[in-house]
A and B are shown apart, each in its own frame.
Chain A
Amino acid sequence: MSGMLSNLQILTVAPVFNVQLIIDGLLIGAVFALAAYGMALVWGVMNIINITQGEFVVLGGYVAVEFAAHGIHPLFAVPVAAVFLYVVGWLVYRGVIFRVVDQDLFISLLATFGISILLQQLMNTVFGADVRVANAHLDSWQILGGMVTVSQVKVVSFVTCVALGLGLMWFLKASRLGQAIRATAQNARAARVLGINTDHVYATTYALNAAICGTAGALIAMAYTIHPYIGLPYTLRSFMIVIVAGLGNLGGVILSGVGLGIAENYAGFILGAQFQLAFVFLLLVAVLVVRNWCLQRQRRYLK
């Protein structure tokens, strides 16, 4: 308790620490937003909440880790992770997801939960249970008289996320496939009537989401750390961001992603790093409860 108060005091006495927390939160928030964008895509188009999201992120991270371990610069791993995860996502869709797409939501929730448990231990067996990082050998800048450290690799990951987000937006807006995806999201049956192969659209959407997660994961492995069982927090973060932002609202996703990043950094600093994840999960519960209360006043509810 006294530790928390003294941490708060540091923030008021030395406001420069706030700058540090906000910059760090901003940089990681972009990665959260990217993964959340993928979840919103699958949720909106296929009506599936993908619990495997976090495992896709971690798997992408391991691609970068393996690159670094073999002496290749992990930045090259980013496109490779995307392609690899695209294939994984496509296989998962063809193996399992296509059977549960039009079923009860709880069925698909449990099915993706099962895949996530499977992938967790598979990664544990293949890559080991250690906490790993892909060393990108990049420096950091010292700004504001050396009080604030900005790591270059985090900036690189931030820029990549923004570029990728813009690219995705363009893809969904302009390309034929993107238009087909949006049409399917609006009304799958009408899209089928008009000659769109919705099964193909679903497969592409799911694989695309996995690729997005893989990219985010490769960036996370460079700038932060990964281990086989860290997937669930990323899933729940994505879910929370989508809830706050709403489906199909890219601006909202970015804002709430960055907001979550900053809030999490503050929580880690004030409450102590051991409570940072607890804060994330409790924030999810709080967000849901508050959203539901607001709806209940209009005699509606989250469903």
Chain B
Amino acid sequence: MTGGTRVAVWGALLALGLAAPFLFPAYLQQIATLWLFVVFALTWDLVGGQMGYNSFGNVVFVGVGMYGCAVTQIGLFYSVGAYTAARGGGTEFVFNMPQYLGGLATGVVAGGLLAVVTALVLGSLVLGMRGHYFAICTLGLGVAAGELAAGWNWIGAGSGMTAPTAPDALDVNSFYYYLCFILAVVTFFATRWLLSTRFGLAINAIRDDEDKAEAMGLPTTRLKVAAWMFSGFFLGLAGGIYGNMNRFIDPNDLAFAGSTIGVWMVLMAILGGKGTLWGPVIGAAVFQVFKELFWTYLLGWQRVALGLLIVLIVVFFPQGILGYLRERFPALFGHTIDPDPAGASEPEEARP
């Protein structure tokens, strides 16, 4: 693509995102969720696709952000223990407009920072493992976090927590829509910037051959933890917004939902094309359409269909949409095909 068309495409996408509340008012929440999914997929792909560390536990950061945000929002003005204890009636907890917006802003940032700290601690522990040991270890982390949250009374234990009620004057739907949209755009450009730096090259080197990268003098462990902290930060922000948008925070089904959101982010990145910038975005969009269709037309069987979709994608389509397009139309991606295939050098190759 030339510079002009690229700007035009981006302009069109931005305009579409901004105008969506007016174009598709009925699907506002679904599109808002889509933007959050874009964040999930992009941040998963940074660690899973660009760095080669396939994690099933990134959902931990979503949950930490969600609870961190809710606890901050409430804790600024009321006692958290009293708030969770008063579930199902009793005392009313009212948040006026400045309290709500101020609490939300502080809470989302606090959730993001808490997720960064979590990523630092957990990453230093588990990022020394490789391959499927890392994958299963993070799977264990995800479900363990859910079980812990479900046993902790202060944050509502198994019955979860309700996010603060927004004041009536606030148009909640469009408000959260734009928050999600802004977060997705910021995450996209932050990831894009990060991948264009030396840091991006370094984590690609870790993916391609970690031992060699280390031998070249890269501080691999620190780089890995830093990449996980980066994705943890945006996942924490997304978690805070997601919890408030959803209003109700359930420890196992929403915050630390290892077998739903935790797997979906992996699936979205693979569906779109692992290790590419646009792949996770496309994958998230396609997946969200599938998911909404399943949940609407196959209710009761939606996870059966989803399981089938996972199997079909990983078995028959592991290279993803962008990977497939790159194989079929390499010229679109700026790759030139070597006319002499016997030549020693292969064209720049996409990883499977």
11 sampled A-B residue pairs with Cβ under 8 A? A49-B132, A106-B54, A109-B135, A111-B311, A113-B56, A114-B310, A125-B304, A278-B151, A289-B137, A303-B131, A303-B133
* Contact of B310 with A111 in the complex, beta carbons under 8 Å: yes
* Contact of B140 with A117 in the complex, beta carbons under 8 Å: no
The docked-state distance in angstroms from the alpha carbon of A119 to that of B151 is 27
User: Does B26 count as interface, using CB distance less than 8 angstroms?
Assistant: no
Q: Which residues of B contact A135 (CB under 8 A)?
A: none
Please pick, from B130, B143, B266, B309, the residue contacting A303 in the complex, using a CB distance under 8 A: B130
Find the A residue at minimum CB distance from B153: A274
A-B contact count (CB 8 A): 137
Q: Which residues of A contact B148 (CB under 8 A)?
A: 275, 278
User: Does B166 count as interface, using CB distance less than 8 angstroms?
Assistant: no
User: Does A121 count as interface, using CB distance less than 8 angstroms?
Assistant: yes
User: Does A5 count as interface, using CB distance less than 8 angstroms?
Assistant: no
User: Does B306 count as interface, using CB distance less than 8 angstroms?
Assistant: yes
Q: Which residues of A contact B330 (CB under 8 A)?
A: none
**How far in angstroms is the closest Cβ of chain A from B47?**
13
Q: Which residues of A contact B136 (CB under 8 A)?
A: 49, 109, 236, 239, 284, 288
User: Does B125 count as interface, using CB distance less than 8 angstroms?
Assistant: yes
10 pairs of A and B residues whose beta carbons are closest in the complex = A118-B307, A114-B310, A281-B144, A278-B147, A121-B303, A117-B307, A114-B311, A302-B133, A284-B140, A303-B130
* Contact of A105 with B132 in the complex, beta carbons under 8 Å: yes
* Contact of A288 with B137 in the complex, beta carbons under 8 Å: yes
CB within 8 Å of B: which of A6-48?
A: none
Q: Which residues of A contact B311 (CB under 8 A)?
A: 96, 111, 114-115, 118
User: Does B263 count as interface, using CB distance less than 8 angstroms?
Assistant: yes
* Contact of B310 with A117 in the complex, beta carbons under 8 Å: yes
Interface size on B, residues (CB 8 A): 45
Q: Which residues of B contact A212 (CB under 8 A)?
A: none
CB within 8 Å of B: which of A259-303?
A: 272, 274-275, 277-278, 281-282, 284-285, 288-289, 292-293, 296, 301-303
Q: Which residues of B contact A184 (CB under 8 A)?
A: none
Please pick, from A103, A274, A281, A292, the residue contacting B143 in the complex, using a CB distance under 8 A: A281
User: Does B71 count as interface, using CB distance less than 8 angstroms?
Assistant: no
**How far in angstroms is the closest Cβ of chain B from A283?**
9
**How far in angstroms is the closest Cβ of chain A from B344?**
26
The docked-state distance in angstroms from the alpha carbon of A169 to that of B336 is 57
The docked-state distance in angstroms from the alpha carbon of A110 to that of B55 is 11
**How far in angstroms is the closest Cβ of chain A from B132?**
5
Q: Which residues of B contact A118 (CB under 8 A)?
A: 303-304, 306-308, 311
Please pick, from A110, A274, A285, the residue contacting B310 in the complex, using a CB distance under 8 A: A110
User: Does A122 count as interface, using CB distance less than 8 angstroms?
Assistant: yes
CB within 8 Å of A: which of B291-327?
A: 300-304, 306-311, 314-315, 318
